[in-house]
Amino acid sequence: MCDMARQSGIIKLKGTIGDITFYKSKDGYLARQKGGVEKDRFLNDPNFQRTRENAAEFGRAGKASKALCTAIRPVLNKTQDSRMISRLVRAMMRVIKADQVSNRGLRNVLDGELILLQGFDFNGNAPLSATVYAPYTATINRATGLLDVEVPSFTPDSQIVAPGGTTHFRLVSAGAEVDFENETFVLAQSVSEEIPFNNTATSANSLSNDIRVTDSTKPLFLVLGIEFLQEVNGSFYALNNGAFNALNLVAIDTGIDGAVPPDPDDEEEDDPEEEEGD
C-alpha cells in the first residue's frame, strides 16, 4: 500500500513532483508516494496470483455496479451521495464472494448471491428506513413483468422525515431487468403526484412498473424512493439537489428458486479494505 499524508501549510499542491503525487480528495489535500509493481511482473509472477484473482473479481464488481446504476439512472439522479459507488462496489464484492460454484478469480455476480443487495440505500446520508415510516408492499411478478409498490394511506408529517423548507414530496419507483453479461437493461419507472407535506392523510398510492418483458430470465430489481420539493408560485423545485432524497433497493428477483432476502440485523459494516484471504 502506498504511503499517504495530509498536506499542511497555506499553499495546497496538485500534481506530481518526483515520486510524490499531490491531490485533493473528500478528506482534504493529500500526498502519496508512487508505488506498485511493473505490469509484466504483476501479470506473470506467481507471487501475485492472489492479487490477480482479487483484481479480476474487483473489476467484475465494478462492471456490475456500473450496469445496475446505468439501468436505474433516471431515478438515481434524484439522489446525491458522493460515496455511493464505492459502497455499491463493496456490496457487489460480497455478492461475488458468495459464489459457491466458480474458482477464485472467476467468481461472478450471476453465480453469487445478488439477493444480498436487497435493502441497499443509494443515498447513504438518507436511508429509506429512516426517512419513510409509512408501510409499503413491494412485489415482483416475473411472469407478467410487473414490479409494483403499493403504499396505503398515511399521514406525512408523522410518517415522513422531511428537510426544512419541504412543502410537498413525490414517491418514486423503478423496475429494471439487468443483463450483467451484455451490460443492457430494460427500465420502467413511476412517480406519484406531488403530495402536500402536512397532517392530512394521503390517498393510497400504487407505483406500477411494467418492463414489458414476460418470463424474464435475467435478474429483476425494484427500487423505491422519495423526492422532497418546495412549491413556489405554483412551481415545484427540488430541495438541496437531492441531498435528502432516499432511494432503496426494496426487492430483487434473481430468477433462482430459494433465494432468501438478507436479514438486516446480520449485515456487516462496509470494510474499505478487502482481506487478502477472502
C-alpha cell at 140: 415482483
**Per-domain boundaries in the chain:** 4-33, 51-262
Percent of the chain with pLDDT over 70: 77
pLDDT in tens, 158-207: 999 999 999 999 999 999 999 999 999 999 999 999 999 999 999 999 99
Task: Report pLDDT for 24.
Answer: 72
pLDDT in tens, 116-140: 999 999 999 999 999 999 999 999 9
Task: Report pLDDT for 52.
Answer: 85
- Rounded Cα gap, residues 231 and 244, in angstroms: 16
pLDDT tier at 38, thresholds 50, 70, 90: low
Task: Report pLDDT for 269.
Answer: 42
Question: How many Cβ atoms are within 10 Å of 170's Cβ, its own excluded?
Answer: 19
pLDDT in tens, 104-122: 999 999 999 999 999 999 9
At residue 42, does pLDDT exceed 60? no
Task: Report pLDDT for 272.
Answer: 38
Q: How high does pLDDT run on average in the chain?
A: 86
Instruction: Provide mean pLDDT across the span 2-18.
Output: 57
pLDDT tier at 220, thresholds 50, 70, 90: very high
Task: Report pLDDT for 11.
Answer: 56
pLDDT tier at 265, thresholds 50, 70, 90: very low
> Which amino acid does the sequence have at 204?
A
